[in-house]
Structure 1
């Protein structure tokens, strides 16, 4: 379910629409140093004794520091970072389907043909046809409840914006220039869900037919442009043609073809698709997902707090060094004034 990555381009308002978000202000830290620490902190988050996230973003393409026209020692900073977890199964959701739909459809066709043949004079064949037709109709309308796997992916996005300034410190006759930033940072988290396809072969084939039909319907409900809609297979002829779609790998490819563009789309479309899938979740799974979103917010809060501690420590150390250097310079005697 992976997707390619380009330059990150989300805005503050985009992040405020996320499932969860946390904001923080950080002062007196080198923005490049902060970005490296941010990336490393996200990559160190663990889940079930394994590193959870893969980050996307680099200082070269996603951290922009620009000087203002008023002077070369002031400027602005804007940076973005995104991290994604692997898709993981969170449970099973339910779907109603016709376990004997294809069998019933075939019975209706065969029974109808036998009945028509019997009308030519063979009353026994006509009666047999009526029985087969009735049995096929009964089987066609029988329903059961099946389950399918639901997958989850967590995404963290971070946007930092602020002002930067440069300071030059003389130490042992050498000048060193360092950069400081006052930044506002917003951390957002989203939990996306999708239909799992890796276990497609464990479903009976009428169940696979219904799942394909439902995924197509869910896609059409969340897209805005009719050109992005797909045909929703269903009805009597779909059940009858189902005899030619008994291969699980074929249905798996069809489900992936319909669903994958939604998982690769922009966040608004991904969220609409996730919301539709959430409507299908039963009580226990819905509760579990709600708890997971609460855990995701805790991750964001811990991340913001860890960075706050880091900035306070590093900022104080840097300030002490600057003040100590200035104090040492002030205490030196000018030989010309001796």
Structure 2
């Protein structure tokens, strides 16, 4: 019998989790896998930081805990379970980009200047010629002028857990009743990652000319990470792109482009994409900010180790309780692993 509904978590393997920033492994035996999964989920939800409870978990027994019997009539089988937990996004520092603050203004002024210059040369008078020269010169200066500005970078902690193993059904015959339960010998991998992204929620605080540059930069990073041409995004630049800026100032549109590009690199992305994009953004941080992030990764490792220890204590305690119950404690029959 398989317990799995559509709409569960994305599939990931032990090899995927071993590529994580941090990971811890453990082996557990003599425990009901359903009880183990409930305890595991509760333990993750109880992790706290200075802001309170840290993680929001994803995963249910119906969709993400699979228990399969191996053969019809047999009382052995396999178990596989997945759990994911994400923290809130928090600011970690700022990235810095070079941009043209007056690029659109300069492009428009240069074109207007050329028009006035042609009118002056064509007989409209010396005034038009002089105005054309001034406007063209000012436009070129504005277009070529460059400055640097910063944009916020945020980070999120993500925990993923994969449990795999074998289950067996045990039945205790009593004088008045029969009690049945299942036990599992499982190997569990706890993995933790710190993902980094551009904060799209703060775009309205940026000047619109710089915001367009940030959008273009996210597109460039996206194209550096993805593997196929089909996944790559179109990127515009140059004089015409600067001129188009006058009709491309909507912050909601810019936010949608960044969130769409980053969703393909973080939330809904292959693991390799997430790590590569995180590394690109880490390079934008100052050395001090990178050290802060490294310290945070060490704290995440401590969380994983504490989580594994918490589960160890639970398994030792519950394993003894299960043994005691099966050796004669009264209770209702509880079949868990039915042959198909």
So what's the TM-score if we normalise by structure 2? 0.86
Q: Indicate yes or no: 2:305 matched with 1:297.
A: no
Give the equivalent residue in structure 1 for 2:334: none
Contact 2:8 2:63 in 1 (8 A): no
1:175-214 to 2 correspondences below 5 Å: 175-214=178-217
1:163-242 to 2 correspondences below 5 Å: 163-170=166-173, 173-242=176-245
> What CA distance in whole angstroms lies between the structure 2 residues aligned with 1:201 and 1:257?
17
SS at match of 1:94: strand
> What CA distance in whole angstroms lies between the structure 2 residues aligned with 1:172 and 1:40?
37
SS at match of 1:150: strand
Give the equivalent residue in structure 2 for 1:275: 279
Contact 1:94 1:147 in 2 (8 A): yes
Give the equivalent residue in structure 1 for 2:115: 113
Range moving further from structure 2, 22-31 or 242-251: 242-251
Question: Unaligned 5+ residue runs, structure 1?
Answer: 326-338
Contact 1:91 1:150 in 2 (8 A): yes
The one of the two structures with greater contact order (alpha-carbon pairs below 8 A, sep at least 6) is: 2
Cα RMSD, aligned residues only: 2.4
Range moving further from structure 2, 63-72 or 275-284: 63-72
> What CA distance in whole angstroms lies between the structure 2 residues aligned with 1:38 and 1:92?
35
1:172 positional shift: 6.0
Range moving further from structure 2, 51-60 or 248-257: 248-257
Give the equivalent residue in structure 2 for 1:72: 74
Give the equivalent residue in structure 1 for 2:291: 287
Range moving further from structure 2, 45-54 or 228-237: 45-54
> What CA distance in whole angstroms lies between the structure 2 residues aligned with 1:79 and 1:145?
48
Q: In 2 relative to 1, CA 49–280 (structure 1 residues): closer, same or farther, beyond 3 Å?
A: closer
Deviations 1:62-91 (A, max 9, x none): 222223339623222211111222333323
1:265 positional shift: 2.6
> What CA distance in whole angstroms lies between the structure 2 residues aligned with 1:64 and 1:32?
10
Q: In 2 relative to 1, CA 82–213 (structure 1 residues): closer, same or farther, beyond 3 Å?
A: same
> What CA distance in whole angstroms lies between the structure 1 residues aligned with 2:7 and 2:85?
11
Give the equivalent residue in structure 2 for 1:317: 321
Question: Unaligned 5+ residue runs, structure 2?
Answer: 1-5, 330-340
Q: In 2 relative to 1, CA 87–172 (structure 1 residues): closer, same or farther, beyond 3 Å?
A: farther
Q: Indicate yes or no: 2:55 matched with 1:53.
A: yes
Give the equivalent residue in structure 2 for 1:335: none
1:323 positional shift: 5.7
Contact 1:21 1:189 in 2 (8 A): yes
Give the equivalent residue in structure 1 for 2:103: 101
Contact 1:162 1:181 in 2 (8 A): yes
Aligned residues: 322
1:34 positional shift: 0.6
1:183 positional shift: 1.0
Q: In 2 relative to 1, CA 5–147 (structure 1 residues): closer, same or farther, beyond 3 Å?
A: farther
> What CA distance in whole angstroms lies between the structure 2 residues aligned with 1:43 and 1:109?
60
**4+ residue segments displaced more than 6 Å:** none
1:167 positional shift: 2.4
1:324 positional shift: 7.4
Deviations 1:104-150 (A, max 9, x none): 21222122222222323534433432233222222222222211121
Contact 1:85 1:155 in 2 (8 A): yes
Q: In 2 relative to 1, CA 163–256 (structure 1 residues): closer, same or farther, beyond 3 Å?
A: closer
Q: In 2 relative to 1, CA 182–117 (structure 1 residues): closer, same or farther, beyond 3 Å?
A: same
